[in-house]
Amino acid sequence: MVRVGVVGYGTIGKRVADAVALQDDMDLVGVVVRRYDWRASMAVRRGYKLFVSHDADLKSFASRGVEYEGTVDDLLERVDVVVDATPKGVGAKNKQLYEKHEVKAVFEGGEKHEVAGVSFIATRNYDEAYGRRYVRVVSCNTTAIGRVVGALHERIGVRKARVAIMRRAADPWESHRKGIINTVVPTLKVPSHHGPDVRSVIKDLNIVTMAAVGSHNLYHLHMGFIEFREAVSRGDVVEVLEEEPRVVLVRGSDGVAALNTLFELGRDLGRSRGDLYEIPVWEDSIKVEGSEAYLIWMTPNESNVVPDNIDAIRAISMLEKEGRKSVEKTDRTLGVLSKLY
């Protein structure tokens, strides 16, 4: 049983905490928050022990007469591994705490590769993270590309992948303070950082990405132009994606028309928060011409990295030697499907 702490209780942290709590080989010792507000109260409701960061607003606890279990240092004394799901850049600063308390740590995609030294997508490079002290689970977009394009690369061999990303402007919970209306904002740093980030996991993948932000807050849409080393059939591509864990095929002809349809589908599945962990690829969009495939998929950005976080904990804690087995176990506990419907 590995003792786990979660530092940061935002979009990713709260989902990882829930996922850890579902594992029979992990014990969720507690979560670290910065203040007591409605979000922290949700953690309490779930029975999670609250610890406070060094920069916490302690008055927010005192004014409501709420007790906390201890500080982040207290938590770190009681755990073997932390998942650091703090905002971009904070994880790098927290690393010295983890060094001091000699706990292993999983960082998220907001941190630089160098913070952990190993970037991670469970279905791609589990072995590389096995037994390491630190690992970084890459961002939602990078994970999605790593699953879809990475699978095609492993099984068929990609000569060059080109991916256009239409990002969401904000997540639902933060849409009151961040967002754009009625426009598209191109990311003028070309290629976007996603391509190099995928290569931090899949070193031999030739990939280039471009991105733009749209006027919506649900999910990212990716369009991939995937050039293979040799001619392929459409059947080959479909088969690879059908067999790939955490990738599912959906069809516009079944009424799965757009991002919002998938959002509703996630809610109908009855999962916590309506989360999707899988990358849905529109089967009707898959077209092969010679040695190139064109296809469109979606990244459920709030939740798709959650299973990878669980596998990352398992890898660095040496709870499971085989990546395939860890992925299967995680997927069973989270209810990850090979078909959404």
Rg over CA atoms, the chain:
20
Compute the distance between CA of residue 169 and CA of residue 167 in angstroms, rounded to an integer: 6
Cβ distance to a copy of itself smaller for residue 21 or 170: 170
Cβ contacts of 286 within 8 Å, gap of 6 or more: 234, 237, 238, 241, 293, 294, 295
Residue 85 backbone phi and psi in degrees, to 5:
-115, 40
Helices 323-334 & 306-316, crossing angle to 10 degrees? 140
What's the min distance (Å) between Cβ of 218 and a copy of itself?
6
What's the min distance (Å) between Cβ of 26 and a copy of itself?
36
Cβ distance to a copy of itself smaller for residue 41 or 175: 175
What's the min distance (Å) between Cβ of 254 and a copy of itself?
11
Which amino acid, residue 173? Answer: W
What's the min distance (Å) between Cβ of 145 and a copy of itself?
14
Annotated catalytic residue, options 118, 121, 140, 156: 140
What's the min distance (Å) between Cβ of 158 and a copy of itself?
14
What's the min distance (Å) between Cβ of 307 and a copy of itself?
24
Angle, alpha carbons 32-33-38 (nearest 5°): 135
Cβ distance to a copy of itself smaller for residue 70 or 179: 179
Cβ distance to a copy of itself smaller for residue 63 or 260: 260
What's the min distance (Å) between Cβ of 123 and a copy of itself?
24
Compute the distance between CA of residue 70 and CA of residue 271 in angstroms, rounded to an integer: 31
| Spatial CA neighbour of 125 closest among 133, 110, 135 | 135
Compute the distance between CA of residue 30 and CA of residue 48 in angstroms, rounded to an integer: 6
39 a catalytic residue: no
**Contact residues: a copy of itself, CB under 8 A:** 162, 164, 166, 180, 182-186, 188, 190-191, 208, 210, 212, 214-219, 221, 223, 225, 252, 257-260, 282, 284-287, 289, 292, 294-296
Cβ distance to a copy of itself smaller for residue 183 or 233: 183
**Enzyme catalytic residues:** 140
